[in-house]
Chain A
Amino acid sequence: MRGIAWGLRSLGRQPLRTALSLAGIAVAAAMLLDMVMLSGGIDQSFSDLLLVRGYQLRLTPKGTLPFDTEATMTRASEVVAALRRDPDVEAAGAVLGTSLYARAADSLVTLFGFGVEPEAQGLYEVTAGRDLTWGDTAGIILSEPAARLLRAGVGDSVTLVGRLDPQVAAAAVGRRLAVRGMVRWLYDSRDQPSVGTVLPVMQRLSREPAEDRASLILVKARADERVPALAARLRAEFPAVEVNSAAELVVHFRQRLVYFRQLSYILGSMSLIVAVLLIATLLTIGVNERLGEIATLRAIGVSRATVVGQVLAEGTALTALGAALGILLGLVTARYLDAILTSFPGLPAAFSFFVPRAGTLSFAAIVLLVTGSLAGLYPAWLAARAPIAATLRAEAT
């Protein structure tokens, strides 16, 4: 304990040096924390987003990921009916995504349309008004950006048109619909003007409804532990579609953002190296400056272990204080960096790259604390092997 107290006191002897070192360690710790958050945050945030409504499986056209291309599956109703008969399936619903148009004043505005089965949907949450109901072919739900674009609210009517034909300068199909509610589409990017209708209405607006097309089928399993087995069974049962669990989609997404993951490893490692170098350099020079003092202490009977403890305590105290400051700084810079990265075009607005969690903060702090403490080993070794007589003689002259 005596060594630790000396160690802490010696930090106070050089306030400017200690303050600068703390600032350096804090910046390095902040960077390390941000990179730890980035490396795990991408997976965590995407997984949370996929499972927000509890649908663990997505069925898409063969070889595609949800809404990655304009590909669609035919005979969607048959597939959904078969899925709903499966004893392991709690809910299943088809979704068709397509570009369509709405009349606003004397012009057409472009929207993104979702055809959904309201009784089994995992794409939105109602924020105002009410949800669509099964068979509600006269209703529509709007996102806030779509409502702004169309200048419509709950109870108003909007006219959607689809299949524009440039040859005759007319739309092949049009539909006047009543706004039932305002919704937040979970996977929409910022300011994406999206609308939703029941599936048959959207199929009619996009293509010939006889083909019964869907872009995606969402499946909710009765139990999470049954998901892998259910996915395997569905793959065998429906070879023409791609079956992906949330975990598998996370893997695909991780591959797309592999650059950021690797960057986080590299920058995190560099931050750690900078922090270690700073602590080691500072302590080494501090020990060299205090060799006379250390020799005196040893001469009057202070043990070698106490001297080593003093140097290690200095390193640990510096690291702990720097890490505490760094965590605060890291949380601020993470928000700034997250604001930059989440402005990627097309990225869901609810997605986050930097996810602060207790586990992440603890991990970064422990890694820094351990390596920072280890950085004191070399100067502690220097202090321990200082020749007492020679040092005292040199000091006296």
Chain B
Amino acid sequence: MKDHSNAKKESERSNAQLILLSGFMIMIGTLTFMVLLNNLILTANLPAAGLDISKQDITEFRSLTIREVNYATEDTLIYSDAYDINNETLLREYFLNYTNDFGEIISRVYATRGTSAELVVNNVTFTSSVTNRTITVQHFKQQPHFFPNMSLIIPMDKHQNNTLQAYRFVWNVVDNTSIPVFAVLQNPVNMTNISSDLPNMTNISYDDFYLNLTTDDIARPNLGPGNVINRTYSGGVFILDVKDLNTSTNDWIYNESQNFTPVITIHGLRMEGGKFLQSTTAMTGIPSVAVYPDNVTLNPIYQYYQDMQIPYTLLNDSDILAGNLTLENYSVLLIHYNMSTVDVNITREIVNWTADGGVLYAECIGAISMDAAVEAVDNNTAHSWYGFIGINETNVSNIPASITSEIPNGPFVKLVNSSSILNDAPPMPVAGLVDNGASFNPISQTNNTSGMYGPSLGHSLTGPPWSGVEGLAFTLYNSTSAVNPDTNIIGYAAYPNGSQIIFDDNGDNESEHHLIFVEAPFDNGRVIYMAGRALSERGIHAERIAAGIFFSSVSREELALEATNVNVTITYSDGRADFEDTFLITI
């Protein structure tokens, strides 16, 4: 009985111990389960393993897409300075090339981490409209540009065999291929022949005048390497961006260069890293040039275009009075004529066309007489100054004999680096004129290291030198309110040593600066005056001005052809998150 009782107690003790152990095991199990659950929740909430990474990726993908679509749209505007249906096609192709290439590469970036990311451009709306740029100091679009290796160089200095007709070549390239031709804007004012009384002009950088490039004198790689050396270029070298070229256009350009006599020199850029240039402007369309009047015996301007083989249209009085002088028909008008004899209605047409956005170039007596003619029809309060610019046409006749005997053939044109050097009044009436001078200006590019254009040599044969009516120089009105405040002085009248011709020619006991080459904006247009008989007589450096004006005209119009609404879909899948979004990017 006792044994039975002990055995029963022993059994009860064992059962209790078993229950305790079981409870303990259940507790451990519960604890383990809770720890595991807690870890699971913690892990899921850690950025490294949770959805935060996906969210960041999707956000970055979306913002990059929006940014690059905007970038592609902005970039296409470079090609849209002149309206052309071919340009519109190019723009579309360019935009899609850009977005497709971006989409392909960004997909591969994500694919490296096992993520699928796709960009699809569903629909693009292009909106086009032609607008005039707001004219401020300069009349052309100056922009930095990167030129990759193998771009084509068209020299405009000693390296070029056919400098004047190179303009026709550039014209043909733009006209036939719609490929923009870039002009490198350089500073044509060099350090030589600087007058000691203009010390500010000595601070001209060598690198602004010369552009150092490693080039091949054989531009076509399939013709084999030619002489690949470092060359210096000056005088506003032209460049064709290799990205705009293909085999077909390369062939066309080469063949076209061979059609000229002598052939147009083209070099090839051979710099592996390419070349980034700060100041360029692109000729993206060809200007329509008009010349007035049509009497070629009175108008030597035809000579420039004959030399350059640039097409132009002669306008007579009837053409202008009939309303043919419109921006749709002509973007550049050149005048070599005494405007004081012109019908006031013709002057009015010219003033209106210029104010709308035309680029007017007047030379010789045309430059001297133009402002008086303009004043007769444009005396509104919007233009408080005299005429287009404020030329004092009465101040050109009282030339001291000492000066005419020193320079019987008339003055040289000395380019100035900055208008501001002439701001010390008196004698210049307007302090604070706009400040670019001839530097980085497309209409004054020359490789002449003296920074000077020769005198109008033919003038001395036609009569007494420095006769006022021949308009060999002019002065500005000696009154701030009478001068266009945005006038830019590009060149003054100079002695052969480069020093400026200054004298009192109106008896007010103040010496006037005598100028030859000035420009100024007039509403949406631009006016350029060049005193002296003919650019041809000053040499090809001066004659190039007539072609350089192209850039002022073709950069005036801006074709606002842009992708205004871009509908895209982005899809993203990384195993943690699947995301798809279709949205509209409004530019």
On whether the two chains bind one another, the answer is no
> B-side interface residues toward A, CB under 8 Å?
none
> A-side interface residues toward B, CB under 8 Å?
none
